[in-house]
Amino acid sequence: MTQTSSAESLINDLAIPTDLAKSLVGGGLLIKTYGCQMNEYDSEKMANLLENTHGLRLVDSAEEADVVLMNTCSVREKAQEKVFDELGKWKKWKAEKPHRVIGVGGCVASQEGKVIRKRAPYVDVIFGPQTLHRLPAMINDALGTRSVHGKAKAVIDISFPEIEKFDHLAKPESSGVSAFVSVMEGCSKYCTFCVVPYTRGEEVSRPFDDVLAEVRALAAQGVREVNLLGQNVNAYRGKMADGDVADLALLMQAVRNIEGIDRIRFTTSHPNEMSNNIINAYAELPELVSHLHLPIQSGSDRILALMKRNHLALEYKSIIRKVRAHRPNLSLSGDFIIGFPGETQADFEATMKLVEELKYDRSFSFIYSPRPGTPAASLPDDVPMDVKKQRLYALQELLNQQTLAHSEALIGTVQRVLVERLSRKSDREMAGRTECNRVVNFVGDIDMIGTFVDVKIHEALTNSLRGEVVATPEAGLATPQFYGL
Ligand code: SAM
Ligand code: F3S
């Protein structure tokens, strides 16, 4: 968007007082994103939207910014408190210029609503994960009241207007070879420890054709890999044009047929939604990576019942066994909660045993954090915090050993790598990702960006691998102009 003329036409189109609008249009937008990949996806959408409506461009520093948005996470107390600590730093910033705007979105906004404004009266807009498409109008309203009354009223909208948001977002844009595509929103599982169903609403799937249109648009921009996103992505049930309903397996079938898309990931999944169709997709779809992120939370059936996960540890193991029958080299990752109320040593040992048995490759583990309004928050809990910390430490030691073992097992193997960018270490080196999502650095050429190359792994470091290219099956296919080179 070119600055002056488009800024003027935007000002004419906008229902905001011109003096404040002039300073905002064409200005800088700083977005601070916390939490999950759904939030990362939403932040990208907010940036696209505000570029289209207000000509805002993304910046990295407070000095360059005119609008600051915090896209927040409330899954654990620490994540939530971080937001309030961060907000404190922006009061002075806002006072420096009359048109500056502060917005809080995401799950903390959804859960706390007006309370945010009580704790931080200088916040202008508060929006939820399902109302981010209304952000441009909310910013206009906030600036409008400020111009008339000298002081802005907070504009708050944290409702759940079904899936309207996707109809109002800007056209998909991607600057890389891999892109997130949100296919469903919310969660209807109501695990007793989790706030997500309350902050993001019930499960709602995007229509099948809408998702495919988004993937096609991304493929036309050079995207080779899509990561289908949802809090419970394997619960996807998208309406099709003929009235039928597609599940995630059918969606992946259609995505793989889109020209240019050669790698498919999906995250995050619930064990109870791992249907045979999805398990069989590992046999039928070569584009589906040999990686599965399947949270279990605990290896103890007693704790799983208290968490209302509605499955047994054995059922989870059986899913993994079936997927591994199709993909013996499957890289498995999970989420674990340590110290759920009343977790005994025996419960904890059941988790350790399950991890030892299944062999994970990178996982997330957390100490249980009571969340207001969730059923587990009122359960009695007599496990001291230092015991919980020791258990978490022991679990993480085991998980780290398994990750290292997985990396070391890759040494000497040839991995198919999607080349993403120049390596951060040297301009002679390129960086890409394996199917199991490991970063690999190798000597290569810039023309490889956007293609798959075969790399023999020589070394496993803590956060990455090193190797050498042994084959370039797609030589000549690269389109580096898509990636801003
Ligand atoms: N859909 C996924 C599933 O099937 O479990 C989970 C999505 S949830 C937002 C991401 C992870 O956050 C969970 O798997 C859980 O491990 C963690 N989590 C959620 N609530 C938590 C809490 N109250 N305390 C600690 N960890 C929590
Ligand atoms: Fe949370 Fe359980 Fe849903 S962990 S996101 S309520 S599957």
- For 185-211, write each residue's pLDDT tens digit: 999 999 999 999 999 899 999 999 999
State the Cα–Cα distance between residues 21 and 10, nearest whole angstrom: 9
Instruction: Confirm if 363 and 334 have CB atoms less than 8 A apart.
Output: yes
187 Cβ closer than 6 Å to some ligand 2 atom: yes
How many other C-beta atoms are found inside a 10 Å radius of the C-beta of residue 87? Answer: 20
- Asked if the peptide bond before residue 268 counts as cis, ω within 30 degrees of 0, the response is yes
Q: pLDDT, tens digit, for every residue of 88-138?
A: 889 899 888 888 999 999 999 988 888 898 889 899 999 998 888 899 989
Q: H helices within 91-134, ranges in order?
A: 91-95, 106-112, 114-119
Report the pLDDT value the prediction gives residue 80, as an integer from 0 to 100.
Answer: 83
Q: Is the pLDDT of residue 393 over 80?
A: yes
**The pTM is what?**
0.89
Q: Which of 265, 274, 201 is nearest to 236 (CA)?
A: 274
Q: For residues 172 and 354, which has the higher predicted lDDT (pLDDT)? A: 354
State the Cα–Cα distance between residues 40 and 182, nearest whole angstrom: 11
State the Cα–Cα distance between residues 315 and 403, nearest whole angstrom: 24
Q: Which of 326, 318, 263 is nearest to 294 (CA)?
A: 318
Is the alpha carbon torsion for 212, 213, 218, 219 positive or negative?
positive
99 Cβ closer than 6 Å to some ligand 2 atom: no
State the Cα–Cα distance between residues 99 and 64, nearest whole angstrom: 13
Closest Cα to atom 2, ligand 2: which residue? 191
Percent of the chain surpassing pLDDT 70:
90
Atom of ligand 1 nearest to the CA of 231: 1
Closest Cα to atom 16, ligand 1: which residue? 335
Q: Is the pLDDT of residue 8 over 80?
A: no
193 Cβ closer than 6 Å to some ligand 1 atom: yes
State the Cα–Cα distance between residues 299 and 317, nearest whole angstrom: 10
341 CA → ligand 2 middle, Å: 17
322 CB-contact burial (10 Å; exposed 0-12 / middle 13-18 / buried 19+): middle
90 Cβ closer than 6 Å to some ligand 1 atom: no
Report the pLDDT value the prediction gives residue 221, as an integer from 0 to 100.
Answer: 92
Helix (H), strand (E) at residue 365 = strand 364-367
In this predicted structure, which of 133-147, 315-329, 346-360 has the lowest mean pLDDT? 133-147
Q: Which two tokens stand for residue 253?
A: 């079938």
Report the pLDDT value the prediction gives residue 174, as an integer from 0 to 100.
Answer: 76
Distances (CA, A) of 324 to 52, 177, 283, 292, 482: 45, 28, 10, 10, 36
Percent of the chain surpassing pLDDT 90:
70
Q: Are strands 238-239 and 184-185 parallel, antiparallel or unpaired?
A: unpaired
